[in-house]
Chains A and B, each alone.
Chain A
Amino acid sequence: MNLYKYSSPVSFYPLAGKMWPIFALLAAALCIAGLYIGLILAPTDFQQGEVYRIIFIHVPAAWMGMFIYLVMAGYGVLALTLNTRLSAMMMEALAPTGAMFTALALWTGALWGKPTWGTYWVWDARMTSTLILLFLYVGYIALTTAIEDRRRADKAGALLAIVGSVNIPIIYFSVKWWNSLHQGSSVSPTMAPKMASIMLTGMLVMTIACWMYSIAVALVRVRAIIVEREQGSAWLEGKQA
């Protein structure tokens, strides 16, 4: 299979059109399965009661927020080295989903914190670094929308994502370091180390569901971006006619 063929928007557009419903269906099915496992099959936690069940969305969201940024940085490397337009479009398509998951992780974290520790927000290492990750997403989106020239916006966004991804481990490390320095606020929403395997299964199923959702949404969005950018070009006019 010629991979380069699908790096052009022209051939990717119809492919994405065929693929996204499959991923959307998978996402819906897995989400139902995951919620069934998480909300019904999984037992009540003996310490936290029913509240802990928020992890079935909280943990996958936090993972996805992190993961999508790294995927964007990967596309950024492709965009800058191979100069493929589609990579930059994929970055633009993924950014809102990544930001949404990161915000969701913070929100569910706060909702979990209130009944468990009596406060919506603690400056714990993971919450803090997730907040900074959200800032990185906001920076990427702000930069790419502020630059009018699409070519420049693509490349600038790609470079920013790469610089950000190099910084993410450093930020995580520094925030952990900072947290260990200030012992006062070391309460943090964590699960008991021995999690029941059914809980783990539920979380994994939900994570894969989030994954499928992200792919489906990114594909739909990238189609919209292709249409927006390629306005007036012959192949697109033919498609729409």
Chain B
Amino acid sequence: MTLGTLAATGLTLSRGPRRLFSGLSFTLQAGEALVLRGANGCGKTTLLRVLAGLTVADAGELHWNDQRWTALCASQRAASLYLGHTNALKDELSAAENLAESLAFDGVEVSDRRQRQSLDDMGLAERHHLPARRLSQGQKRRVGLARLALARKSLWLLDEPTNALDSEGVALFSGVVGAHLREGGMACIASHLPLSIDAPVRELVLGEVPA
């Protein structure tokens, strides 16, 4: 994991006639989390996708340690991990296989033992070999948490990560994010629920900007 500073300047994006955000600027230091708030449809998901490089902003720039990120450039792909509304699991593969595939494409090598350990830590001890289609929504989220913990990515971009998680799952999530931040990682989290993370957290409220 590389330590870094993420600076967004003047991000502007419209979808059709609707302007989601305009002139949005912020910086995120190593060890900081930014929680995105705002009503449904205010552009939280879109902003996360812009930070991930999946969506190209109409205007504005992203800089990572003084290096400019063009959408999906190598440095951006190496540094960031995006988890969206979907759990990004293949139904046909088991929890363990899904984790192994995700980590392989994340470009990290993690021993089988540590992968199994991580699934156990996330409370999936008995379910390593269950096909993902037979996992509950919350359990699928937990596979994603195991990946987060192992993928060694600097910038986590999480879209409503606590959805479908029970209170124990939410506690696990807070623990994983807290550990990540204490090691100098950073996270950008869209959430409509209060999060208790043991690390510096800033909030960014997105609202509709009059066009």
B194 at the A interface (CB under 8 A):
no
A231 at the B interface (CB under 8 A):
yes
Note all chain A residues with C-beta closer than 8 A to B17.
231-232
Q: Do A232 and B211 have beta carbons less than 8 Å apart?
A: yes
CB of B18 to closest CB in A, whole Å:
9
Per DSSP, are chain B's interface residues mostly helix, strand or loop, or mixed?
loop
Can you list 8 pairs linking A and B with CB atoms under 8 Å apart?
A83-B56, A149-B15, A149-B16, A150-B16, A231-B17, A232-B17, A232-B211, A233-B211
Note all chain A residues with C-beta closer than 8 A to B56.
83
Note all chain B residues with C-beta closer than 8 A to A149.
15-16
Q: A220 to B16, alpha carbons, bound, how many Å?
A: 22
Given contacts A149-B16, A150-B16, A231-B17, 5 further A-B contacts (CB under 8 A): A83-B56, A149-B15, A232-B17, A232-B211, A233-B211
Note all chain A residues with C-beta closer than 8 A to B16.
149-150
* Tier of interface size on chain B: under 10
* Tier of interface size on chain A: under 10
Note all chain B residues with C-beta closer than 8 A to A233.
211
Q: A89 to B17, alpha carbons, bound, how many Å?
A: 16
Note all chain A residues with C-beta closer than 8 A to B211.
232-233
- Bitwise interface map of A from 66 to 84 toward B, beta carbon under 8 Å scored 1, else 0: 0000000000000000010
Nearest residue, chain A, Cβ from B58: A151
CB of A228 to closest CB in B, whole Å:
10
Q: A115 to B103, alpha carbons, bound, how many Å?
A: 69
Note all chain B residues with C-beta closer than 8 A to A232.
17, 211
Q: A150 to B18, alpha carbons, bound, how many Å?
A: 13
Q: A90 to B211, alpha carbons, bound, how many Å?
A: 26
- Bitwise interface map of A from 128 to 157 toward B, beta carbon under 8 Å scored 1, else 0: 000000000000000000000110000000
Q: A150 to B58, alpha carbons, bound, how many Å?
A: 13
- Bitwise interface map of B from 52 to 68 toward A, beta carbon under 8 Å scored 1, else 0: 00001000000000000
Question: In B21-57, which residues have CB < 8 Å from any A CB?
Answer: 56
Note all chain A residues with C-beta closer than 8 A to B15.
149
CB of A229 to closest CB in B, whole Å:
9
Ranked 5 nearest A-B pairs via Cβ:
A232-B17, A231-B17, A232-B211, A150-B16, A233-B211
Q: A233 to B19, alpha carbons, bound, how many Å?
A: 11
Q: A231 to B15, alpha carbons, bound, how many Å?
A: 13
CB of B47 to closest CB in A, whole Å:
16
Q: A150 to B16, alpha carbons, bound, how many Å?
A: 7
Note all chain B residues with C-beta closer than 8 A to A231.
17
Q: A83 to B58, alpha carbons, bound, how many Å?
A: 10
